[in-house]
């Protein structure tokens, strides 16, 4: 399907989910609406990344994809506090009315600015899953899985970590969370910048090593606020540097199946989030909240090891193709 049509279809599904949330009563309909919103958002994210990469000039694809990630980061940084204020002052439905209006504006913007662009041919599910049999792709997706386990372990329990270990008040926690949001904006843009200039392998490995070191040090100095806060900021920047760079890395592995790979990557992100939240809960319940730091660090080190194998396989296949 044409990529512009895919974007418009995704936004239309999101709009339908919003309308059903507002119009249909009952918990059952609310769950259906959530499914529609999830499907529409998932399709939009994958298509937006592949569209940005295809529109960008050669050598600037990673930067273009990082701009998409920057938009997602900005929506979180601005949307969550705005949503809280609106919900407290008015009604939760006002939030969905606002999202609906922005979605309509998005439909108009896509229709007017995105050119028609041929998408990938429809591929049966069996052939999509067959990509996982390719070692270089399987290992690359494994890197995504372990990195997002690490991110989820820390991010899921960051609020109790700040209140119990760093003894912060609710107001201070809000400030730190906002600062981490700003760090995510920086990381999103930095990932594309570094990938275009130094290469995806160096950027990915560098971001993972920084994450691991920051979390390992944080487990030691967590109660020293003046040191712990910069380490948290550094961790957030490095973590958000990974995402757009990994997307571009996957596109380079199989350009002819870019949409499928981005979809698979999104699946592994969600699996990582789920596993990380579960592992973090077990660790916190059985040990202490500080456990999220060293578990997060250890998991990223596993990701670095998997990445080393992945990049080694990529170089091997590249030499065979050229030789």
Of 60, 83, 113, which residue is a domain's last? 113
Do both 165 and 245 map to the same domain? yes
> Structure tokens of 305?
């090891």
Residue 64 resides in a domain: yes
> What's this model's pTM, rounded to 2 decimal places?
0.80
Do both 22 and 145 map to the same domain? no
Do both 192 and 51 map to the same domain? no
How far is Cα of residue 85 from the mean position of the Cα atoms in its chain?
25
pLDDT in tens, 67-90: 888 888 888 778 877 877 787 788
Do both 157 and 272 map to the same domain? yes
CA 307, 309, 310, 312 torsion-angle sign: positive
Of 86, 113, 140, which residue is a domain's last? 113
Q: Which domain holds residue 10?
A: 3-113
| CATH code of 31's domain | 1.20.1250.20
* pLDDT at 101 (0 to 100): 94
Do both 133 and 272 map to the same domain? yes
Question: What is the number of structural domains in the chain?
Answer: 2
Do both 88 and 157 map to the same domain? no
Phi-psi region of 85 (alpha: psi -120 to 50; beta: other; left: phi over 0): alpha
Residue 119 resides in a domain: no
Do both 137 and 253 map to the same domain? yes
Please provide the average confidence, as pLDDT, over all residues in the chain. Answer: 86
SS3 content of the chain, % helix, strand, coil (to 5): 90, 0, 10
pLDDT in tens, 24-69: 887 888 888 888 988 898 889 888 888 888 888 877 777 888 888 8
Residue 255 resides in a domain: yes
Q: How far apart are CA 96 and CA 21, in angstroms?
A: 8
Answer whether 307's CB lies under 8 Å from 208's CB: yes
Mean pLDDT throughout 272-286? 89
């Amino acid at each position: 399907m044409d990529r512009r049509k895919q974007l418009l279809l995704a936004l239309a599904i999101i709009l339908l989910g919003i309308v059903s949330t507002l119009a249909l009563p009952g918990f059952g309909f609310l769950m259906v609406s959530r499914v529609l919103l999830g499907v529409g958002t998932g399709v939009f994210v994958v298509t937006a990344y592949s569209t940005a990469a295809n529109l960008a000039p050669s050598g600037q694809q990673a930067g273009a994809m990082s701009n998409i990630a920057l938009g997602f980061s900005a929506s979180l940084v601005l949307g969550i506090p705005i949503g809280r204020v609106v919900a407290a002052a008015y009604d939760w439905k006002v939030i969905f009315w606002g999202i609906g209006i922005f979605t309509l504006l998005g439909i108009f913007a896509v229709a007017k600015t995105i050119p028609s662009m041929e998408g990938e041919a429809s591929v049966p599910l069996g052939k999509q899953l067959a990509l996982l049999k390719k070692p270089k792709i399987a290992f690359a997706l494994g890197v995504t899985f372990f990195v997002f386990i690490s991110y989820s372990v820390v991010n899921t329990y960051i609020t109790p970590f700040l209140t119990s270990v760093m003894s912060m008040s609710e107001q201070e926690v809000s400030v730190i969370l906002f600062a981490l949001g700003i760090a995510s904006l920086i990381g999103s843009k930095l990932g594309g910048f570094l990938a275009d200039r130094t290469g995806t392998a160096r950027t990915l490995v560098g971001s993972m090593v920084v994450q691991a070191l920051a979390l390992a040090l944080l487990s030691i100095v967590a109660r020293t606020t003046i040191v712990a806060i910069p380490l948290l900021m550094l961790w957030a920047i490095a973590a958000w540097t990974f995402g757009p760079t990994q997307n571009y890395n996957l596109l380079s592995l199989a350009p002819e199946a870019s949409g499928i790979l981005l979809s698979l990557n999104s699946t592994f992100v969600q699996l990582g989030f789920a596993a990380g939240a579960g592992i973090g809960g077990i660790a916190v319940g059985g040990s202490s909240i500080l456990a999220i730091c060293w578990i997060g660090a250890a998991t990223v080190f596993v990701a670095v090891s998997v990445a080393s194998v992945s990049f080694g396989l990529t170089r091997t296949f590249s030499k065979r193709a050229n030789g």
